[in-house]
Every structure is written in C-alpha cells, then in structure tokens.
Structure 1
Amino acid sequence: MSSNFLTAQSLTDLIEKMAAIRNRYDGYDVLLEMCGQAGYLHGVMLDLPVEASQHLADHILISNWPDRFLRDYDAFGLMATSPVIARARDAVAPFHWSSKANMARRNQTEAERAAALFAEHGFVTGVAVPTAGRPGKRRLLFLAGDRAEPDVVELSYLMMLAAHLSERLLDVLDTPCRNEPAARLSDRERQCLIWTSAGKTSLEIGTILGLSEHTVNQYIASSSQKLGAVNRAHAVAKAVRRGLIE
C-alpha cells in the first residue's frame, strides 16, 4: 500500500495547479497528480448521475480510469446498482468505500462480475467526495486503489480539492447538452470507434483496417475531441447515444 498521503503542502500545491487549469487536459494532469499524492491509482470527476441513468461514461468530466474498465462497467450495467453512487446522492461529506463491502450489497451475478472487474484493475478501496456542480446539480470526486482508510484530516483536504477542481472545471469546460447537434466524424473515425466498441485494441484495429497502431490512436483521439469525450470508452458511448455508430 502507498504511504504517499496528502499533506498540507501537497494540498496547497494542488490548489495552485488547479487555478492554472485551462482545459480538460490540464484537469486530467492535475487529477493524476492528486491520485498520486493521495495514494490512489484511479480517479474520476463526474456529474452525479440521477437514478434513471444507466451509463457512467455519459457523466464523466475527467478520468484516468482504464478504458476497458469503464466499457465493461457500463456493459454490465453496474452503475444502476452502485452502492457508492446511491450513497453519494444523499451524502454531504466524503466517505471511504471498499470493494469487498460493496459486493455484499449487490445480487450474486452483479457481485461476481463487479468483484472480478474491480480486482483486475486494482479497485480495492477508495474514497468518494460529493461536491457542488452546476446550479442545482452535484458532482463526485471518486478515487480508487489499495490503501488504508484516510483519516479526518485527509478527508478534509479531499473536500477542499474536490470543491476547487469542480469550480475550475465549471469555468473551463464547455459541457455539451443532450440536444446538441451530432459531431461529424470521418469514415475512418467511425470505423475505429465501431471496432473499439467491439473490444478491439488499437493494434487489432490497425490490422483489420490496414493502418498503423499510431494512426488508429490518432483517429480515436480526433473523434474523442470532436465528441468532447475524455477517453475512447467515453467516445464510444457518446457516439452510440448520438446515433453515429451502432
């Protein structure tokens, strides 16, 4: 387990770096550093989904979650029964969670799928930090890895960091609305997203389409930018919702 926990100095440094965020990529870099300073592997800032929502990818603002984890998480429909998401909707303070404890709150089939998925990607324990978002909305900073439960001082630091990060993202991100016009993707961009949705890696897609792995990555990156997505799984989800791919 990591011993690189948050300190008063790292809190100050991270808040200063948040003030310098100018776009989604700056936010991603700060999120990565926050994860490292707090002793976690994975982090995400998202608009807290309403109960009717089914796909976590639709709500993500910035994330370093593995693409395959996010794709499988949504494919299994795990958000609808997530104990963390359910608790976060009513919580006003950050709380610790563990994969083992959460599995007991799911039915057997979901618990088995979730346990295998979380273990594969190192989601053992973590912390959820609710904070303010757009007017009338809430956001959630969700960190995961394998470390001991944060103490009250670290939790207070995380509350401050979540509030600063959310406020900065409100300033710099042009969050698309649901009825925005569909982005125009090239044929190659669509093909790469279609094969990505089928679970193919960039190398495999390149072999299928006769392209280099680097070129495939460029097509996926350009389509992600057009769609306002934070990673390829998010791009696939957005493309499907807008009818750009099936």
Structure 2
Amino acid sequence: MSTLFSDTHDDNGACKNYLGKKIAQFGDFKFAYMILNKKNPMETLINTNYPSQWVDIYKERNYQCLDPVVFSALQRVSPFPWDESTPISSRQKTAEIFSHAKNYNITTGYTFVLHDHSHNLAMLSLTLNGSKSIDIEGQIHPNKACLQMLLANVHESITTRLRETARNNRYNPNAEKDPLSARENEVLYWASMGKTYQEIAIILGVKIRTVKFHIGNIVKKMGVTNAKHAIRLGAEWQLVKPIAR
C-alpha cells in the first residue's frame, strides 16, 4: 500500500477531530471521509466517526469495491442523497452491505464528491446520528456549498501533508501499484476471455491447481465470493490489463 493510503494515527486523529468540529456546526451527523484510488480500489483511506465495528467489517471485506454509494460517486461530480435502494451495476452483496449497515443505523445519507488530479475519488458522507427521522437532505441543503468546500479543503490539506511525508521518505507518491500481480492479471485476463481453468493452465504452462490458487488470491483481494464476480468487477474497475503478445 502506498504512503498516501497508509494509516497514520496522528494525522487521522487530527483530521477526525477537525471534521467533527466543523460538521457539528451544521447538525448532529456521523461522517465518513474516504479517499479511494480509482486505479486500484483496494487502496483506500477512511477517516470516520462511524462505529468502529462497522468500519472494521467494511475494510476487512473490501466493501468499497461493492458499495453502491461509491459506484454512484464515481459517476458524479455533484453531491447526492442515498439509501438502501440506491442502484448499483454489480448487485451481488448489495443487500449484505446494507444488512450490516442497518445494525449501526447507517441506511440513509448524503455524499459530497471530489475527483482530484491524482486519480483519487474523495467522498464526504453524512448520516444522521442515532435513529432520527428528520429529512437529511432538507437539513443539508442550506449548507451544501459550505460542506463541499469543507471536503475540498480537508482533502487538499491531508493529501498535501501525506505527499510531503512521502517525499521526506524518498518515496515516489505517483508510482502506481497494481492491485494484482502479473500472473494474477494473466489468469484473470484469460478467464475474462472465456477460457476454462484447464485452457488457462495450458496457455500459461502451469498446473490447473496453480490456476485455482491464483483465482483464490484474486477473489480474496477483491473481496468477492467467486471467480465470475471477480471477472465482472475487474472489468468494471478496469483492473484487467491486456496481455502483450
């Protein structure tokens, strides 16, 4: 994981406190600030006052790759409301995500969006604290401009600070790291071309169990349940790279 997306306790704590104070001026909200690498969705930074149990589940299962709110944000530049009926192109696990989220009163919210020059998606999502039934969109509407600027200012501040840390460590923050290894990409590529495990083994000159091993790693990295879903998700996220011939 790159330095930009590594967990830095001091920076995350300061950002969380700052966001908490600023957002409290507009209402009683829970919030989640997320940075997601659009070229490698497995790389994310999440700063939130959501319940820690939900955050652990979200990270462990790579829900950012399946979250309908994230998919909606990728296609927008303007803020938008969402709930458990928000559509998604990959429908697997959608119900599961909101099923878990319901346990923490996270079913309705409003998200602000920012796409930066480093191919990152930044999101600031707000949900109501507790089980209040007020109209979240109506409460946020008068403050939309202020909250959008808050996202822009926080994102610029934290990414600038993290890049400075990266430079001090003589690390190139612009270097892209592929989410899949070269061999995993080959396996996923040929699988996406409709090849069977046996055919992939012949093409790559390996045993079938080796192909299955790589498929297992791909499924685990993507946080999905099977190879078919990994192929579809790889295509949606443009993770599968053509094989040079």
Q: Does 1:155 align with 2:144?
A: yes
Q: Does 1:84 align with 2:72?
A: no
Residue 73 of structure 1 corresponds to 58
Residue 124 of structure 2 corresponds to 141
Residue 78 of structure 2 corresponds to 93
Counterparts in 2 of 1:78 and 1:46: CA distance versus 1, 3 Å: closer
Distance in structure 2 (CA, Å) of the matches to 1:107 and 1:132 = 22
* Alpha-carbon distance, 1:117 to partner: 1.3
Counterpart of 1:145, as a letter, is L
* Alpha-carbon distance, 1:106 to partner: 7.8
Distance in structure 2 (CA, Å) of the matches to 1:83 and 1:133 = 20
Counterparts in 2 of 1:64 and 1:134: CA distance versus 1, 3 Å: farther
Counterpart of 1:38, as a letter, is F
1:32 is matched with which residue: 10, 15, 20? 20
Cα RMSD for the two superposed structures = 3.4
Residue 45 of structure 1 corresponds to 33
Distance in structure 1 (CA, Å) of the matches to 2:110 and 2:73 = 11
* Alpha-carbon distance, 1:69 to partner: 0.8
- Asked whether the 8 Å contact 2:33–2:122 carries over to 1, the reply is yes
- Asked whether the 8 Å contact 1:133–1:167 carries over to 2, the reply is no
Counterparts in 2 of 1:81 and 1:51: CA distance versus 1, 3 Å: farther
Counterparts in 2 of 1:88 and 1:106: CA distance versus 1, 3 Å: closer
Distance in structure 2 (CA, Å) of the matches to 1:179 and 1:158 = 30
Residue 230 of structure 2 corresponds to none
* Alpha-carbon distance, 1:129 to partner: 1.0
Unaligned runs of 5+ in 2: 1-9, 178-220, 222-245
Name the larger-Rg structure: 2
Unaligned runs of 5+ in 1: 1-21, 181-240, 242-246
Counterpart of 2:158, as a letter, is L
* Alpha-carbon distance, 1:44 to partner: 2.3
- Asked whether the 8 Å contact 2:28–2:128 carries over to 1, the reply is yes
Q: Does 1:169 align with 2:158?
A: yes
TM-score of the pair, normalised by structure 2: 0.51
Residue 97 of structure 2 corresponds to 114
Count of residues in Structure 1 that have an aligned counterpart in Structure 2 = 156
Q: Percent identity?
A: 16
- Asked whether the 8 Å contact 2:30–2:50 carries over to 1, the reply is yes
Which 4+ residue blocks in structure 1 deviate beyond 4 angstroms? 104-109, 175-180
Counterparts in 2 of 1:82 and 1:51: CA distance versus 1, 3 Å: farther
Distance in structure 2 (CA, Å) of the matches to 1:38 and 1:83 = 25
* Alpha-carbon distance, 1:179 to partner: 8.8
Once the two structures are superposed, residues 81-106 of structure 1 have per-residue CA deviations (whole angstroms, 9 ceiling, x without a partner) of: 222111111211111112x323x648
Once the two structures are superposed, residues 157-213 of structure 1 have per-residue CA deviations (whole angstroms, 9 ceiling, x without a partner) of: 211111111112123233685899xxxxxxxxxxxxxxxxxxxxxxxxxxxxxxxxx
